[in-house]
Structure 1
Amino acid sequence: MMGVQTISNTAICGVVISIILSMTVPVAFIIFAKKKYQAKISTFFIGAGTFLLFAMVLEQIMHLLVIKVGGLSAENNRWLYYIYAAMAAAVFEETGRIVAMKFWMKKRLDFPNALMYGIGHGGIEAILIGGLTNISNLISMLMINSGAMEQSLAILPEETRNQTMQQLSALWTTPASHFMAGGFERVSAIILQIGLSLLIYHALKSKKRGAAILAYALHFMVDFVAVSCAAYVSVWILEVFIFVMAVGTLLFAWRKSK
């Protein structure tokens, strides 16, 4: 069995930075939307709830059917898996936006609340994936470096201990820069989610299906490139691409929806 390895201070700093970005950027956007445009705080929770329902519940049920039951995986059919993963994210999240704005935001569907919806959609994703996940990673890292993790593992049954060690090994085998990159990815993701939300808002208000189709296509493209190119290019090249696409989407949608 592999031994527990000390986590570098650089990796720990990367996790801390990711936590700060993931938890504070959504709050900063909420304050901006509230003060600048008088958007309703309750709309943030509509966006957050829609993400939880469509991405964390309905999409996961689809993954269970396709991946667990159907047997699709990156090992047996890499490119089909990448296409499916990106398409599922685009279909469920963009459809969720349409449902939320058309039915749950009918009486408040304007630019300020479309903006706040996007902050809720992207913000809860950042808090859950970038914030809470990295808080858990940070606790594990500190326990490993203090020796407390080895003491905890020692009392576990061998099979459970080996499984836990395998999961924990990512904390010392992952390059330190990747932990920091995760925080910047969450910022780009929030920006993208806001842009896509404004694009769907524009599609509904102007009754232009092309804008909605564009939102689906952009979401698919960003996710497909992110998952398919991760093994071939530097993580920071991917982060720059995602950031450029996110900012471009936001600027385009902002101009169209104002």
Structure 2
Amino acid sequence: MPMVPQASIVGMVITLLICVLVPFGGLIWLGTRRTAGEPRYPGVARAFAAGMLAFAVSQVLTRIPLMAWLSTQSAPWAQWLISAPVASFSAGLFEETGRLLVMLWLLRRFRRWIDGVSFGLGHGGLEAILLIGLTQLSNLGLALMINSGQTAALDQLPAASRERVVTALTQTSPLDFYLAGVERIAAIGLHAGLSVLILWGIVAGRRALAWVVAVAIHGVCNLAAVLLATSGLPGASLLAECVLLVLVAAFWVLFVWRSRPWFPVAPEPSR
């Protein structure tokens, strides 16, 4: 049986660590770094948890089941709804709506710039773990079984399924496993930035404008990554992740970082 390259295994481990450590490490740093014996940013865990809830409601409980159902339909309208352009913007539509509603509901007192960042870490962190982290954990377990010759679990699969699993793990370029981690860094950064944008809209009384812009940015980033990754160009996957990183970095430089003075510096008093 062919072996899974060690470089691929390392890529799986790194991507798995990114999915866990970037969001939760960020939360720990924000919540436990102390100034004069107090947390530097009190209450950020609330925003983080709210962000996780926003992703669960807007994707896990609604859009993902809807897209799965649409994929079983042969009608032209269903196929149009799951096409790359429409799906790219529907993700933004669902997630930015969920982001706005959860912020209005759970972050009434916590409307600092750092609350937006923490909200995005929670939103992007849950997405990273559910969509990528669990997959990499499964891949890692299967890869270690293949390389150690302990394939009893794989032997229970139908021959065709077993061959597909082995081929995918042994023939996929190691670079693809690393790029999955790079994509998660960009995605979490995008979610943090979009959360700041939506929270700014609430603070500034311009919710509709912030929501529309957030949906547009989300959709454009999604679509650019999908079109480039499937373009057939040499190094298409690498190009897609590089473009996504550039887009997210530009968003942070042009808006997110500059918006800090526009937010309150402390939680509002309880009423």
TM-score relative to the length of structure 1: 0.87
Matched-pair contact (CA < 8 Å) for 2:11–2:175: yes
2:265 corresponds to: none
1:169-202 Cα shifts (integer Å, max 9, x gaps): 3212211100011111111111110000000011
Identity percentage over the alignment?
28
1:186 corresponds to: 184
Matched-pair contact (CA < 8 Å) for 1:33–1:115: no
Matched-pair contact (CA < 8 Å) for 1:195–1:250: yes
2:153 corresponds to: 152
2:37 corresponds to: none
Task: Note if 1:66 corresponds to 2:64.
Answer: no
Runs of 4+ with deviation above 4 angstroms: 70-73
CA shift, 1:249, in A, is 1.9
The 2-side partners of 1:226 and 1:242 are apart by 6
Structure with bigger helix share is 1
- Code of the residue aligned with 1:31 in structure 2: it is I
The 2-side partners of 1:80 and 1:119 are apart by 27
CA shift, 1:168, in A, is 4.1
Alignment of 1:1-258 (within 5 A): 4-34=1-31, 35=33, 36-71=40-75, 81-149=83-151, 151-156=152-157, 160-208=158-206, 209-232=208-231, 233=233, 234-251=236-253, 252-258=255-261
- Code of the residue aligned with 2:222 in structure 1: it is D
C-alpha RMSD of matched pairs (Å) = 2.4
The 1-side partners of 2:166 and 2:61 are apart by 26
CA shift, 1:129, in A, is 2.6
Give the unaligned 5+ runs of structure 2.
34-39, 262-271
- Code of the residue aligned with 1:109 in structure 2: it is R
The 1-side partners of 2:217 and 2:195 are apart by 12
CA shift, 1:131, in A, is 2.1
The 1-side partners of 2:76 and 2:143 are apart by 33
Matched-pair contact (CA < 8 Å) for 1:51–1:125: yes
Comparing 119-128 and 28-37, the one that deviates more: 28-37
The 2-side partners of 1:205 and 1:182 are apart by 34
Give the unaligned 5+ runs of structure 1.
none
The 2-side partners of 1:155 and 1:129 are apart by 25
- Code of the residue aligned with 1:211 in structure 2: it is A
CA shift, 1:16, in A, is 1.3
Matched-pair contact (CA < 8 Å) for 2:190–2:248: yes
The 1-side partners of 2:25 and 2:155 are apart by 43
TM-score relative to the length of structure 2: 0.83
Matched-pair contact (CA < 8 Å) for 1:22–1:127: yes
The secondary structure found in structure 1 opposite 2:229 is: coil
CA shift, 1:257, in A, is 4.7
The 2-side partners of 1:94 and 1:168 are apart by 38
The 1-side partners of 2:30 and 2:154 are apart by 46
CA shift, 1:53, in A, is 1.5
